[in-house]
């Protein structure tokens, strides 16, 4: 067994029991998972686009994911991520098989962390983590709320529209 | 026992408070009720930080507003909040309720409550059931407050995320190490300035109870 598969199995068991203990609240507790890596990468950027692109470059260079696309819309609070070839996909597949909707995406956590750390965003929230059914060959789709200032709280729009 | 059940089933979460102060003797009784909660192996991991200072309560209220607002704004944008409050038929009233929620104002009430009690658990002295012990203490606090004629609310959302829990600890000077203290919630206490609908809708027992085995709805004869 390769070590990546082994570590995915460890994470799967940890997340399984964590979800069992905390139900949906588990997602809110795991927001720092992955941030140690990105905080060691000296990410720089003067705005959200520059920071996110620098994060994506570091994540891809380290081989943690093959490709990441993003967009910012919804009155500047909706960050959409499409993540392909993630090294943690096996963990997500195992969770799905166990009847648990995946809830913790370290790559998303990394990007949100740097918006907070480097640009002073007041808070962020992972709103939806859509991991495809099956063996994990399809990309994950993430919707996260990013709030640059407290005034952005309440900036509602319809996220179902493209 | 009927009297206790009356207290239990007439308790409501109160989020609007009068400015009248809460006497120390009443706060002490609420804390005393917490102290007598059940606790695994009698560890008694609970600790309480009683806050009356307005500036501190303002900071807690702002943190709570940000936490709830950040989640509820996203939930509204995804349509979840509209589904949850579809039962409010008056369109203008529904819109105002939704705005109150997604703005985070729904959780700002620590600013108005005369007393806020942070409920934390030590992880330093050996314990096995910290969140459960603390939850039992909170329930005792709420019931005692209600029995004294006070209103209270169990507030978990603002400390639900790891970052917010850390900010909450920093506001109150609680050690922030993950192996030090767990912050589970705070309880706001004060004289109610709202009358909540009574009774709140609750599921019937036959929806909740099985007999002898999971799934068995019929109560078997005994004795």
**Residues 6+ away with beta carbon under 8 Å from B24:** none
A111-115, B74-78, B126-130, range with the lowest pLDDT: B126-130
- In 3D, which of B155, B81, B164 has the Cα closest to residue A127? B81
Phi-psi region of B173 (alpha: psi -120 to 50; beta: other; left: phi over 0): left
Q: Are A98 and A137 in contact (CB under 8 A)?
A: no
In the predicted model, residues of chain A with pLDDT beneath 70 are: 1
Q: Alpha helices of chain A — where are they, by DSSP H? A: 3-22, 26-29, 35-39, 48-61, 89-97, 106-119
DSSP string, B25-74: HHHHHHHHHHHTS--GGG---EEEEEE--HHHHHHHHHHHHHHHHHHHHH
Contact status of A29 with chain B (Cβ, < 8 Å): yes
pLDDT at B1 over 60: no
Contact status of B4 with chain A (Cβ, < 8 Å): no
Q: In what order do the strands lie in the sheet with A67-73?
A: A67-73, A78-84, A140-147, A123-130
Contact A153 B78 (CB under 8 A): no
Contact B102 A157 (CB under 8 A): no
pLDDT tier, B127 (very low <50, low <70, confident <90, very high otherwise): confident
Per residue in B85-105, pLDDT (tens digit) is: 999 999 999 999 999 999 999
pLDDT at B196 over 90: no
pLDDT at B198 over 70: no
Q: So what's the pLDDT on residue A161?
A: 83
Averaged pLDDT, B32-36: 98
pLDDT at B217 over 70: yes
Contact B67 A123 (CB under 8 A): yes
Per residue in B104-116, pLDDT (tens digit) is: 999 999 999 999 9
Contact status of B70 with chain A (Cβ, < 8 Å): yes
pLDDT at B119 over 80: yes
Cα–Cα distance, B121 to B153 (Å, whole number): 19
Q: So what's the pLDDT on residue A80?
A: 98
Q: So what's the pLDDT on residue A9?
A: 97
- In 3D, which of A105, A94, A99, A157 has the Cα closest to residue A130? A105
Cα–Cα distance, B162 to A25 (Å, whole number): 11
Q: Are B189 and B115 in contact (CB under 8 A)?
A: yes
Q: So what's the pLDDT on residue B35?
A: 98
Q: So what's the pLDDT on residue A15?
A: 98
Averaged pLDDT, B156-160: 88
pTM: 0.95
Averaged pLDDT, B129-149: 96
């Amino acid at each position: 067994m390769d070590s990546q598969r082994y570590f995915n199995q460890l994470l799967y068991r940890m997340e399984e029991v964590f979800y069992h203990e905390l139900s949906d609240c588990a997602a809110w507790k795991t927001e720092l998972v992955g941030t140690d890596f990105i905080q060691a990468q000296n990410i720089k950027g003067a705005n959200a686009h520059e920071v996110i692109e620098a994060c994506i470059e570091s994540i891809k260079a380290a081989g943690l994911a093959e490709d990441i696309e993003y967009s910012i819309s919804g009155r500047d609070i909706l960050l959409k991520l499409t993540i392909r070839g993630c090294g943690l996909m096996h963990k997500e597949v195992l969770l799905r098989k166990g009847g648990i909707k995946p809830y913790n995406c370290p790559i998303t956590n990394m990007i949100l962390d740097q918006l907070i750390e480097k640009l002073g965003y007041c808070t962020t929230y992972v709103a939806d983590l859509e991991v495809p059914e099956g063996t994990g060959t399809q990309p994950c789709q993430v919707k996260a709320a990013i709030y640059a200032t407290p005034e952005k709280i309440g900036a509602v729009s319809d996220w179902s529209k493209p | 026992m009927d009297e206790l059940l009356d207290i239990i089933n007439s308790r409501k979460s109160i989020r609007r408070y009068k400015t009248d102060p809460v006497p120390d003797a009443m706060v002490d009784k609420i804390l005393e009720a917490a102290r007598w909660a059940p606790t695994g192996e009698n560890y008694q991991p609970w600790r309480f930080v009683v806050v009356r200072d307005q500036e501190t309560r303002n900071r807690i209220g702002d943190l709570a507003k940000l936490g709830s607002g950040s989640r509820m704004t996203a939930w509204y944008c995804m349509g979840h909040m509209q589904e949850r409050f579809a039962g409010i038929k008056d369109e203008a009233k529904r819109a105002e309720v939704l705005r109150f929620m997604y703005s985070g104002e729904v959780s700002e009430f620590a600013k108005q409550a005369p007393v806020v009690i942070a409920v934390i658990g030590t992880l330093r002295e050996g314990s096995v059931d910290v969140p459960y012990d603390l939850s039992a203490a909170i329930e005792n606090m709420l019931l005692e407050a209600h029995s004294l004629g006070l209103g209270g609310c169990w507030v978990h959302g603002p400390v639900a995320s790891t970052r917010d829990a850390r900010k909450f600890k920093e506001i109150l000077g609680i050690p922030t190490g993950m192996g030090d203290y767990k912050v589970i919630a705070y309880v706001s206490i004060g004289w109610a300035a709202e009358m909540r609908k009574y009774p709140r809708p609750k599921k019937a027992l036959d929806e909740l109870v099985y007999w002898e085995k999971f799934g068995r709805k019929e109560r078997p004869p005994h004795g």
